[in-house]
A and B are shown apart, each in its own frame.
Chain A
Amino acid sequence: MLKIENIDVYYGAIHALKGISAEVNEGEIVTLIGANGAGKSTILRTISGLLKPKAGQINFEGKSIAGVVAQDIVKLGISQVPEGRRVFANMSVLENLELGAYIRNDKKGIQEDMENVFVKFPRLAERRSQLAGTLSGGEQQMLAMGRALMSRPRLLLLDEPSMGLAPLLVKEIFSIIKEINASGTTVLLVEQNAHMALSIAHRAYVLETGRITLSGDAKELAASEEIRKAYLGG
C-alpha cells in the first residue's frame, strides 16, 4: 500500500533521514520505534507532505507522492494525527470533527462517520459541544484520532498517541487503535512506548539516528535480546 524507498530528508544542513526504506501493506499495523531524535516523526511528516524528501521515492497505492503538498495527500486517503494532539482548542468537539471532514462534501456520509466516531469514543459524545481545549489529555487524543478518521482515510498515521497519558488511558487508546485497524484502516504508528506498540503491531521498524537498524515481525522483535535491552528495560 505504502512503499518508501531510500528517502533522504534534511532540516537545513542536518541530515535527518539517511536512506530510509520501509513498507506498509494493506490491513497492517506497522510501528516505527526508536529513541528521541531517531527520525520517527520526520518519516511521518515526510509521508503526509509536511516535509519534502531530497532524494528517494514514496509510493502510495502505486502513485508517487514524494513532494506532493499536504492537502492533496489527505485527499488521496492518508490522514495524520499529529504529535501532541493539536486539537483546535477554541472550537467545540463537533466543530473539530467537522473540520476533519473538510475535504468531503457528502453531508450524509459525514453525519454517519461522526456517529461512528461517537460510538468509538463515547466520551466525546458526552462532550460534543464542549470546547476542545477544556478536554483532558486523553480526551484530546481521542478527539485528534476521531478528527483524523473523519476524512475516511485508508492509511492512518499516528504520531506518539501515548504521549503524556496515564498508563490506563494508554491501554484504552491502543485498544481503540486495534479496533480502527480491525474495521479496515491500515495504521502506521510511531511510538516511544515500544512495549505497547510492539504488542499491537504486526510488523515493526527500529530507527536509530536516521537509519533503520532492525525490522521484522513485531512479536519476534519484542522477544529479541537486542530490543529488550535497548527499549524495553532489560
Chain B
Amino acid sequence: MGKNKKELLSLVACIALYAVVQSLIMLDVIGPFWELNLILICINVILAVSLNLINGFTGQFSIGHAGFMAVGAYLGAVLTVKLQLPFIVAILGGAAAAGFLGFVIGLPTLRLDGDYLAIATLGLGEIIRITILNIPYVGGASGFMGIPRYSNFTWVFFATVFTVFFIRNFINSTHGRACISIRENQIAAEAMGIDTTKYKVMAFTIGAAFAGIAGTLFSHYFYIAHPASFTFMKSFDILTIVVLGGLGSISGSITAAILLTFVSAALASYPEWRMIIYSLMLIVLMLYRPQGLFGNKEISLKIFGRLMGGNKRGNTQGN
C-alpha cells in the first residue's frame, strides 16, 4: 500500500513537472535554445541511467555506449524515412536493434573482465560507427539527412520517465539484486548459484536497448544522423556523467546529466574548453569525492521528509 502510494506520488510529480515545463515552452518563456538543452538533458539522462545499469550496478566497465546509440539513431531513421513507419515503431525498432546487438556482442565479450572488457567495448563502439560510415544506403560519411523532427519535449520527457522507472524497478527486483551481487563479488555470486554470465548479458542488453531509444530520439530531433556524433568521445561524455553522478546511483546520473548539459550549454561558444573543464571536474571529483556526487545512494522521498522535518518524518519512516 505504502509503496504504491509512493509510486503514484512520483508519477503525479512527473506529470506536474511535465505540465509546468511544457506550458513554459508553449508560452515561449523557454526559448528554442533552452528547449534544445532540455531535450539534450533528457536524452543524456536516458543514456547515463542505462549505462549506469551496466557500469554502476552490474560492475561491467563498458565504454561503447555511443555505438548502441548510433544503431538506434540510424535504424529509427530508416524506419521513418525509408519505410514511412510511425515514430513509435521507430523508437521500438531502434531499441530492439540496439538491444539485439548488445545481446550478440555481450555473449562473448562479457566473459572478459575489467580493462579487457573496457578495451573490447571501446573497439566495438568504433566498429559500429565505421560500419555505418561505409553503408551508402544510410548516407555514409555525409550522414543520414532529411529525418523528420518527430521528437519533441513530450516524447523525450516520457521516454526518460519510462527509462528511469524501468531501470529502477529492474534494480529492485531479484534480477537486479543478482546484478549488484556480481558487482560486489563475482565469485561469491557464483557460489550462491547466480548465473553470472546470464545477468551480465541481461544488463548489457537492457542498457543497449535504452541507448537505442536515446539514439532514435536524438536523430529525430536534429534532422540528421551523422557518424561523427557517435565517436568514442560521445561514449566518454556518457561515462563522465555516470562517474560524476556516482556509479550505482540513478539520482546521481540524473543530477550529473543536468549539470553537465548545462555546463556544455554555457560553454557553447568555447567548444575547445569543454573537454578541459570536463577533465578538471573529474580530477577534482576523484581527489575529493572518488565515489561520485551521490556515491551509490539515491535521493528518496525519505530525505525530503527528513528535510521538511516535523510530523512528516513519522509518516515516511513508517514505509
Q: Which residues does chain A contribute within 8 Å of B191, judged by CB atoms?
A: 48, 50, 70, 74, 79-82, 86, 148
Contacts A90-B296, A99-B181; A71 near B194 (Cβ below 8 A): yes
Task: Tell me which of B4-12, B182-190, B301-309 binds A.
Answer: B182-190
Q: Is B298 an interface residue (CB 8 A)?
A: no
Interface flags for A54-88 (1: CB within 8 Å of B; 0: not) read 00000000000000011101110001111000111
How far is A69 from B195 in the complex, measured between Cα atoms in Å?
A: 9
Q: Which residues does chain B contribute within 8 Å of A79, judged by CB atoms?
A: 191
How far is A155 from B177 in the complex, measured between Cα atoms in Å?
A: 25
Q: Which of B181, B188, B189, B296 has the most CB of A within 10 A?
A: B188
Q: Is the CB of B184 within 8 A of A89?
A: yes
Q: Which residues does chain B contribute within 8 Å of A95, judged by CB atoms?
A: 177
Interchain CB contact (< 8 A) of A86 among B178, B187, B194, B195: B187
Q: Is the CB of A88 within 8 A of B190?
A: no
Q: Is B192 an interface residue (CB 8 A)?
A: yes
Q: Is A100 an interface residue (CB 8 A)?
A: yes
Q: Is A91 an interface residue (CB 8 A)?
A: yes
Interface flags for B143-178 (1: CB within 8 Å of A; 0: not) read 000000000000000000000000000000010011
Q: Which residues does chain B contribute within 8 Å of A70, judged by CB atoms?
A: 190-191, 193
Q: Is the CB of A86 within 8 A of B193?
A: no
Contacts A91-B180, A99-B177; A82 near B193 (Cβ below 8 A): no
How far is A189 from B187 in the complex, measured between Cα atoms in Å?
A: 18
Q: Which residues does chain B contribute within 8 Å of A139, judged by CB atoms?
A: none
- Give the contact-size bracket for chain B: 10 to 19
Q: Is the CB of A151 within 8 A of B193?
A: yes
Q: Is A230 an interface residue (CB 8 A)?
A: no
Q: Is A98 an interface residue (CB 8 A)?
A: yes
Q: Is the CB of B184 within 8 A of A74?
A: no
Q: Is the CB of B177 within 8 A of A98?
A: yes
Q: Which residues does chain A contribute within 8 Å of B190, judged by CB atoms?
A: 50, 70-71
How far is A179 from B124 in the complex, measured between Cα atoms in Å?
A: 53
- Nearest CB to that of B185 among chain A residues? A86
Q: Is A40 an interface residue (CB 8 A)?
A: no
Q: Which residues does chain A contribute within 8 Å of B194, judged by CB atoms?
A: 71, 99, 102
Interface flags for A145-157 (1: CB within 8 Å of B; 0: not) read 0011001000000
Q: Is the CB of A82 within 8 A of B178?
A: no
Q: Which of A88, A98, A100, A151 has the most CB of B within 10 A?
A: A88
Q: Is the CB of B187 within 8 A of A99?
A: no
- Nearest CB to that of B182 among chain A residues? A88
Q: Is the CB of A102 within 8 A of B184?
A: no
Q: Is A119 an interface residue (CB 8 A)?
A: no
How far is A234 from B296 in the complex, measured between Cα atoms in Å?
A: 52
Q: Which residues does chain A contribute within 8 Å of B193, judged by CB atoms?
A: 70-71, 73-75, 102-103, 151
Contacts A95-B177, A102-B178; A87 near B192 (Cβ below 8 A): no
Q: Which residues does chain B contribute within 8 Å of A98, judged by CB atoms?
A: 177
Nearest-Cβ distance from residue B202 to partner chain A, whole angstroms: 14
Contacts A102-B178, A103-B193; A91 near B184 (Cβ below 8 A): yes
- Nearest CB to that of B198 among chain A residues? A71
- Nearest CB to that of A89 among chain B residues? B184
Contacts A74-B193, A147-B192; A88 near B187 (Cβ below 8 A): no
The 13 sampled A-B contact pairs (Cβ below 8 Å) are: A69-B195, A71-B194, A73-B193, A74-B192, A82-B187, A86-B185, A86-B188, A88-B184, A90-B180, A95-B177, A98-B177, A102-B174, A103-B192
Q: A99-B189, A102-B178 are in contact. List 20 more A-B contacts (CB 8 A).
A: A50-B190, A70-B193, A71-B190, A71-B193, A71-B194, A74-B192, A75-B193, A82-B188, A86-B185, A87-B185, A88-B181, A88-B184, A90-B296, A91-B181, A99-B178, A99-B192, A102-B193, A103-B192, A144-B188, A151-B192
6 interchain residue pairs of minimum CB distance: A74-B193, A88-B184, A86-B188, A103-B193, A71-B193, A70-B190
Measured CB to CB, the residues of B under 8 A from A are 174, 177-178, 180-181, 184-185, 187-195, 296
